[in-house]
Chains A and B, each alone.
Chain A
Amino acid sequence: MTRLLVALALVTACSKSSDPKPAPAPAPPPPPPVSTSGSATDPTLVKFCTQCYFKVMDCFKDAQFWQIFSTMYFANTNLAVDDTEREHWIGVMKEDMLKLYNEHGFEQNCQASLEHTKAPSEKSVKAVTEAANASCAAFASAFGYMVFNEGAFHQPK
């Protein structure tokens, strides 16, 4: 999810530049450095995190997924955006995900993310797993809540 943080930071910056009127959004936490050094991470959570990445790819073309996921981001940043800004944000996210996918970097980034950011709660893991088996929309809601509301894979430890 480190890449997610990069994407979030990029989008926030883009939002500011394209429409100077809204109040500046709270800056997301600085992206932790990507590291694969051998600090211990829970392999179960790495697997879970990786599965989330792949589920995002499954939902890559699902407009509902991105609508929900972006709504949860903007709700947590208190940003009012127009369609262009929303699409821009989604575009950056997609681009980043695609890049990571092509680099086979999901697992590596999950390990790095778990070293530096909050780990998901057991409850969230269960909720996201269940939602992933239901629909892209349900997954977006559970995953977005875990990331943006609870701060898992997002906020520094």
Chain B
Amino acid sequence: MGNKRYRWWPVALLIVLAVFGLRRLACESGDSHEATPTTAADRERAGGAALRASSRAALDDEGPDEDGAVADGLTLAGRVIYPDGRAAGGAAVRLLSRPSGAPHASMTRRIARTDANGAFALARQAQGDYLLEAETEDAVSPTTPVRLVAGSQPVTLMVFPSAALAIHVRSAVDHKPIPDATVKLGIGSGLFGASDAYMLERTDAAGVARFKGVARIDNHPVYAVADGFAGTFDNIRANEHLLSDWDVTIDLQPGGEVSGRVIDERGVPVPGAKVGWEPGQGERDGAYTFVTPLADGGHYIAAVTDATGAFHKTVPPGLGCLVAVHPSHLTAQACGVRTAIGQPRTGVQIVMKSGAKISGIVVTADGKPAPRAEVIVTEPSWEHIPRLSDSYRSRTTTDAEGRFSFDGVDRMPLAVTAWTDDASSDLVELDMRGTADKQGVRIVLANTGVLTGTVTEEDAGPAPFAIVSYFIAPDISEIKFVKTEAESRGLALPKSIGATLCDADGKFRVAGLPPGVYTLRAQRPGATSVPPQYSAVWKEKVALGSNVTMVLPGLGTITGRVVDGDGRPVSTYVVSFAMFEPAMQNAAMPPGRPVESADGALKIDGVPANKYIVAVTGPGIVEWRTSRPIEVRGGSVTDLGTITVTTGTTITGRVLSRAGEPVRNADITMATADKPDVYQHASSDDEGSFTLPVVKKGTVMRVRASTESTTSDWVAVAPGATTVDIVLSDPTRGTVRGVLVDPEHPVIDRVIVLTLPGAGAPGEGLKPEATTTALDGGRFTLDNVPAGAYVLWAHRAQAKPGDEWVSRPITVAGAKDTSIVIDMTQEPTP
């Protein structure tokens, strides 16, 4: 049983989605409000997303009164206001997540509207922890955690300016718009935990689904599906959309239909199982364990079996496996399923095996039963990630006597842990190998660490509703020799990482923390003019019991004027900001803010005080970049003066296979003769076409294209040329086998990256060509690497910003294993 087996998928998810705020969208069967499905998309939606958010029009469509209600439940009441104190009447207040043991409710029951005074009430809710979000047509609140107990005070949600989002859904084949596609937009911040709520809209005749009240500081997962098309899951990143109008395009590939049943070993149907599609040959038996192995936890992409165990999905054509996940059974798969467009595949059967049972009690530090504690089954080397917190296959809430039980547990070394809002337990390790029923497990909520503080503005005034996130920082000197870094740091404990929201006075409190020192991060609850993370302030090595003050960077203004070489104003351009770091001087800039200005004037307010690299680009303009860090001060204007940009050469081209076919999604690497170690990148579109960053006229440069399966030689581009075709060759490929040696620190899970030689570091000027993580003993393998010269990077165990990596040059031989040992003992401590 390799640990990697149950660690690969969230890593892949995080890399693929580059998620900062991925939220979870839970699914269950039996949405009583759904019309009888008549199309493939309908059927998938009906099965896969019963806990759906309704469209705005459906907000008024209250579901059955008993749906999700608790007979002796409590009323979750509160008020929604604007920053100036005005009541936000007519706002929608959504329950983003509810206690795991609470009765499920359809999304309509999970939405309340505020009255003219901004007040709302959600009646008959279970006691426990909730996440809320309020939205109006043009404003949205940050994710707001609430602990609902008898006598709870009403909660206040403050709404800040939001974005309007238009999602264009097209056919990937002909780019024609797809009307009536179903689009689900995830809401809520992953910093606080998983959210299973989403907004749902259908595309109009022009193939556009429109959403309002979208949080500008969060990433948003989005899923689109249409009749005859396989559903596509993507992530909308807040830092790529710096204005209030967001525009996103999703291309859907035609799919093949597949249907079947999920049954247990006795042939009994398993209703409520999530069924996902994994292309390829599948995993070995027992590879899937205590987490849901679907990239999104199954909220979007999974179909959910009905009462007869039946499911139906539209999936990409090709060979793959159907994977079924259910809390009371071991995860199962049916592989060798080949799907084709227009040829429905029916009768697929997935057999789920039974697992072991665990039961016990959660008690407080003084031995009293702890009712309504959350309990999960995890594994000591697992690293808890809040946004994936509902991916634990076994999660429940204790009853009034503190009791809990799980069924369908994997027979392997596991651990259980529990928490409430003010206490948490350590891991209780359980070796379930050869055990069918483990009873009498006792979990003690012994961890009661508290952190309190205040977040203020630069002028010492409170920062109401600022977001404070935290994570445990290990005391390196105390770390014993253990198998994994996660294990050594206790990262499997859910309370080791999380977030909370300040109150109206900027005060915060988090409790129930395990022993250790913590790193805190405070951030504005509303968007600024730059990516959300730029407005954050950090505090490190905070001891439990501390009462800290965190001062947010003030907001300043940047001005200037953009002209061309003849002094004429440039009216359309894009301004990008990057936090200043030496490596960023040669790295690609993040997405910028479009500016339209008849006289070329540049004025951007709301820029958090910091040191930046500022760049100006535009059609036909060679990127202009500040040569030194630009310091922005709160309440001040930083004038960049006259920015004279140069008109350059735009080079376009195509990536072709050796047979002359266009190659889509190829990565094109460009290096100019004057900066041969600095790489810029572009991607080929569906026609294999690409446009390179504008270069100075007469620049000598070279380009190279690569895909996952092949690459090209470097192609020289003559000065003055405006087009270039790159033909992918069939180079020999090799394998890198290595061992990371670092006796002083755990090596498992350390990141290994292969880049081309050049200036910068992985992700900061150098694009990773291949990435992996070290396994037991420090071994790692990078397969299918085009032969050539590279730099191999290994992440340090104790990394300081700017010195996270140790690098080694390596020449990969074709059709061979190239071996390397990275000896960290020879590296000076950063």
Contacts and interface: CB of A to CB of B under 8 A. Distances in A.
Q: Which of B481, B737, B823 has the most chain A CB atoms closer than 10 A to its own CB? A: B737
Interface stretch (A31-39, A73-81, A103-111): A73-81
Interface string B748-779: 00000000000000000000000000011111
A130 B734 CA distance: 34
B354 interface: no
A144 to B, nearest CB: 7
Contact of A86 (B481, B739, B817, B820): B817
Given A67-B779, A68-B778, A130-B481, A149 B817 contact: no
Given A68-B777, A68-B778, A135-B776, A141 B815 contact: no
Contacts of B741: 141-142, 145, 149
B777 A140 contact: yes
Contact of A137 (B777, B816, B819, B820): B777
Interface in A108-154: 127, 130-131, 134-142, 144-145, 148-149
B819 A74 contact: yes
A64 interface: yes
B777 A141 contact: yes
B743 interface: yes
A53 to B, nearest CB: 19
Contact of A80 (B775, B778, B779, B817): B817
Given A130-B481, A138-B777, A82 B821 contact: no
Contacts of A51: none
A72 interface: yes
B317 to A, nearest CB: 33
Contact of B821 (A71, A130, A136): A71
Contact of A141 (B481, B739, B816, B818): B739
A71 B747 CA distance: 16
A142 B743 contact: yes
Contacts of B776: 64, 135, 137-138
A80 to B, nearest CB: 4
B338 interface: no
B738 interface: yes
B777 A145 contact: no
A149 B823 contact: yes
Contacts of B738: 71, 75
B813 interface: yes
A48 B823 CA distance: 23
B819 A134 contact: no
B483 interface: yes
Contacts of B778: 68, 137-138, 141
Contacts of B743: 127, 130-131, 142
Nearest to B826: A149
Interface residues of B, number: 23
A68 B481 CA distance: 20
Contacts of A140: 777, 779
Nearest to B742: A141
A52 B551 CA distance: 56
Interface in A35-90: 64-65, 67-68, 70-76, 79-83, 86
A141 B779 contact: yes
Nearest to A74: B819
Given A141-B777, A141-B778, A145-B823, A80 B739 contact: no
Contacts of B739: 68, 71-72, 75, 141, 144-145
Contacts of B823: 145, 149
Contact of A134 (B483, B737, B818): B483
B553 to A, nearest CB: 44
Contacts of B818: 80
B237 to A, nearest CB: 37
A73 B481 CA distance: 25
Contacts of B775: 64, 137
A82 B821 CA distance: 18
A82 B817 CA distance: 6
Contact of B817 (A81, A127, A130): A81
B483 A67 contact: no
Contacts of A72: 739, 819, 821
Contacts of A135: 483, 776-777
Nearest to B811: A80
A127 B747 CA distance: 14
Contacts of A148: 821
Interface string A18-40: 00001000000000000000000
B609 to A, nearest CB: 47
**Candidate in A80, A127, A149 with the most chain B CB atoms within 10 angstroms:** A80
A117 to B, nearest CB: 20
Contact of A68 (B779, B815, B816): B779
B817 A74 contact: yes
B742 to A, nearest CB: 9
Contact of B779 (A64, A74, A131, A134): A64
Contacts of B779: 64, 67-68, 71, 137, 140-141
B820 A75 contact: yes
Nearest to B780: A71
Contacts of A130: 481, 743
A141 B481 CA distance: 15
A134 B821 contact: no
B483 A149 contact: no
Contacts of A68: 739, 777-779
A3 B815 CA distance: 31
Contacts of A149: 741, 821, 823
A8 to B, nearest CB: 14
Contacts of B819: 70-75, 79-81
A64 B737 CA distance: 12
Contacts of A142: 741, 743
A44 to B, nearest CB: 20
Contacts of A73: 819
B821 A83 contact: no
A14 to B, nearest CB: 15
A64 B743 CA distance: 18
B811 to A, nearest CB: 9
A134 B776 CA distance: 10
A111 B779 CA distance: 31
Contacts of A71: 737-739, 779, 817, 819-821
A76 B737 contact: no
Contacts of A22: 813, 816
Interface in B474-489: 481, 483
A129 to B, nearest CB: 11
Given A68-B739, A71-B739, A134-B481, A83 B777 contact: no
Given A71-B821, A134-B481, A82 B777 contact: no
A83 B813 CA distance: 13
Contacts of A136: 777
Nearest to B823: A149
Contacts of A64: 775-777, 779
A79 B821 CA distance: 13
A130 B743 CA distance: 10
B560 to A, nearest CB: 52
Contacts of A134: 481, 483
A52 to B, nearest CB: 15
A73 B738 CA distance: 11
Nearest to A148: B821
Nearest to B778: A141
23 contacts: A64-B777, A67-B779, A68-B739, A71-B817, A71-B821, A73-B819, A74-B819, A75-B738, A75-B739, A75-B820, A75-B821, A80-B816, A80-B817, A83-B817, A127-B743, A130-B743, A135-B483, A137-B776, A137-B777, A137-B778, A138-B777, A141-B777, A148-B821
Q: Which 3 A-B pairs have the closest CB atoms?
A: A137-B777, A80-B813, A74-B819
Interface of A: 22, 64-65, 67-68, 70-76, 79-83, 86, 127, 130-131, 134-142, 144-145, 148-149
Given A130-B481, A135-B776, 7 more contacts: A68-B739, A71-B737, A72-B739, A75-B738, A142-B743, A144-B739, A149-B741
